[in-house]
Amino acid sequence: MMRSLRDIPIKEKLMVIITLTATAALLLCGTGIVAFDLILFRGYLERDLNALAGIIADNSTASLAFNDSKSAAETLGALRARTHLVTACIIRPDETMLAQYTRKGEVAPCPSAGGDGLEFTRGDIRISRPIMLNSQRIGTLLLLYDLDEITERVKLYGATVIGFVIIASLIAFLLSSRLSALIATPVSQLVHATTAVSETNDYSIRAKRLSGDELGVLVDRFNEMLSNIQTRDKNLRKALLDREEALREAERARERFRFMAESMPQKVFTAKPNGDVDYYNRQWSEFTGLSFEESKDWGWIRFIHPDDLDANVKSWRNSIQSGQPFHFQHRLRRADGAYRWHLSRAHAMRDSEGGISMWIGSDTDIHEQKEKEEELRRLNDDLQQFAYSASHDLQEPIRNVAVYSEVVATQYHDLLDADGRQYLGFLVEGGRRLAVLISDLLAYTRAGVIEGEVTSVDSTVVLKHTLASLSEAIREAEGVVTYDPLPEVYMGEAHLQQVLQNLLSNALKYRNEDPPRIHLSAVNLGAAWRFSVRDNGIGIDPQYKEKIFGVFKRLHRDQKYPGTGIGLAISHRVVERYGGRIWVESEPGKGATFYFTIPQTDARSGAAPLESSSG
């Protein structure tokens, strides 16, 4: 019963509980009332029957005293109205019967005389009452009363109680079926909500609060719980989505890396933190002619030229230990056995904690570049050799020609006729000119060579040196040279002086009738300093502004402007050698401004010059 009750829905359970409780309570009450009434009724019946017996006994005194059985029978006949009185007898002291009343249709003997008083027996009440006259007992009244009245009363009351119980239970059932909804509806609503959540995993569902009692609180707490779960679920989903996206991105990155690695002309590889190579692209296999299995881990060392191997392995091990980038030039063996120069580089990829997660590297074929470098080195050596030869071997005979033709021209002048002297003059001039040209050409050759490490130099100091060496020429020309503060630049001092000297010499040389006014300044362009040398001289026709920087290119053959035309070519070569540019802006008759730039970072060392203000 309890088990089956436990499993039925709350609404029905409530109805059953309420109905049963009400029924039980009513039954208990009804039974109590009936029992109490029975006790009261018995008392009442006792008093009633005692009073009745007293009255009958008193009324029978005379009849008994006179032994008048008729009158006694009449007295007893008054008991007819009492339907539950079975029989009544008046007994003489000698226990003979004076009169008897018997209920109609009843044949009953007189009850046996016992003690006086009222006695309940099984199915009836026996009353024995003495009949007294002058305090002397003259007889006994015996009454026998059946208990059917009590039974009827119990039946009536019982039926009434049962009827009420049934009606009350029915009402309780009906009421409970309505009222249980107060509890059952919020509960079932909660159940629906939980079922919906568990079936759909939709944590946005909320149970509706239908009451302000504990169930209402339960609904609130349940909704709060759902809200928390929803937030957590959302965060969890987001985290999952993020992770999935990160995984997808990682996969895409891997794909991109593979695609990039496979489509690059270089040989690309990756290695574990301990240096074991775990990936090679197709280009590597094609170059070496071997499979990945054959060259993985440290298998690649068999392709390194024996002369490069030790240094290579040492350098690679150093990088693995220190995490520093690997950078090495070596020869790799091609499938056909030929060795080709390669530049191998590898960088350590680090995780968020700074540990090396892998190495990514490439091998670039620099064989042709190497060969060109070698060729260039040879050419440079040849050029240096030429410069040396020109400095020493070439200059001597030319100088001999120039000097001795001059000696002949002065000391043996009279031995020659006019033509001979003119021709000798040509020889002297030609020899001198050749010597100067050779010397200039040599200076031009040297201008392209930067030797040793370039350090920063204060261009104001260099300018002052230059002005000192040009002081005679400035004085002669009555020139005025002004300048703004000039910066420090990364340039060989001799080279900067050469450029400044050439530009200032030109500015002094190519002057018009007015005394030369020359101004130098420098502007910071960020990546470079731009120097300018502005003059008020004869200017240059724009159509020649490129040509003037060529070797031995001169615009004037006039004796007024002597020179071989090497100065600007040397300046051009020097400036370009330092990564700068030189140009001129001018119009004939309006002076000229020569500009040149010097990068602020020394391209060869990567160092930056000190800060310096410009004018």
Partner 1 sequence: MNLLLVEDNLPDALIIREAIKKENLPVKVDLVSDGERALGLLFAAENDEEAMGPDVLLLDLNLPKVDGFEVLRVIRSSNKFKHIPVLVVTSSDSPDDRSEVAKLGAGYFRKPVTYSEFTKIGAFLRRFLEENDLL
- Nearest Cα residue to 139 out of 77, 71, 57, 73: 57
Q: Strand 124-133 relative to strand 267-271: parallel, antiparallel, unpaired?
A: unpaired
Q: How far is the CB of 298 from partner 1 (least distance, A)?
A: 48
Pick between residue 324 and residue 400 the one whose CB is nearest to partner 1: 400
Nearest distance, CB of residue 490 and partner 1, angstroms: 19
Nearer to partner 1 by C-beta: 319 or 466? Answer: 466
For partner 1, the closer CB: 413 or 547: 413
Dihedral, CA of residue 161, residue 165, residue 166 and residue 169, to nearest 10? 170
Pairing of strands 267-271, 85-91: unpaired
Looking at beta carbons only, is 120 or 404 nearer to partner 1? 404
- Residue whose CB is less far from partner 1, 384 or 471: 384
Spatial separation of the C-alpha atoms in residues 214 and 406, rounded to whole Å: 130
The nearest distance, CB 501 to partner 1, in angstroms, is 14
Considering the complex, what minimum distance in angstroms separates the CB of residue 565 from partner 1? 18
Calpha distance 27→21 (Å, rounded): 10
**159 C-beta neighbours (distance < 10 Å), count:** 10
Which of 125, 570 has the CB closer to partner 1?
Answer: 570
* Minimum CB distance to partner 1, residue 388 (Å): 8
CB of 429 to partner 1, least distance (A): 11
For the record, the structure tokens of 454 come out as: 């370039």
Q: Is residue 199 within 8 Å of 192, Cβ to Cβ?
A: no
Q: How far is the CB of 497 from partner 1 (least distance, A)?
A: 11
Q: Which is it for strands 136-146 and 277-280: parallel, antiparallel or unpaired?
A: unpaired
Q: How far is the CB of 471 from partner 1 (least distance, A)?
A: 21
Q: In whole angstroms, what is the distance from residue 15 CA to residue 18 CA?
A: 5
> Minimal distance in Å, beta carbon 546 to partner 1?
29
The tokens 């280009």 sit on which residue? 283
| Residues facing 343 on adjacent strands | 329, 364
Residues at the site binding partner 1, with contacts judged by CB under 8 A: 387-388, 391-393, 395-396, 398-400, 402-404, 406-407, 410, 431-432, 435-436, 439, 442-443, 446, 451, 494
Contact (Cβ atoms closer than 8 angstroms) between residue 479 and residue 517: yes
CA atoms within 13 A on the CB side of 568: 21
Report the phi/psi class of residue 552: left, alpha or beta, with left for phi > 0 and alpha for psi in -120 to 50. Answer: left
Q: Which is nearer to partner 1, 102 or 391 (CB)?
A: 391
Contact yes or no for 582/596 (Cβ under 8 A): yes
Largest CA distance in the chain: 230
Q: Closest CB to partner 1 among 85 and 398?
A: 398
Contact 439, 566 (CB under 8 A): no
Which residue, 391 or 521, has its beta carbon nearer to partner 1? 391
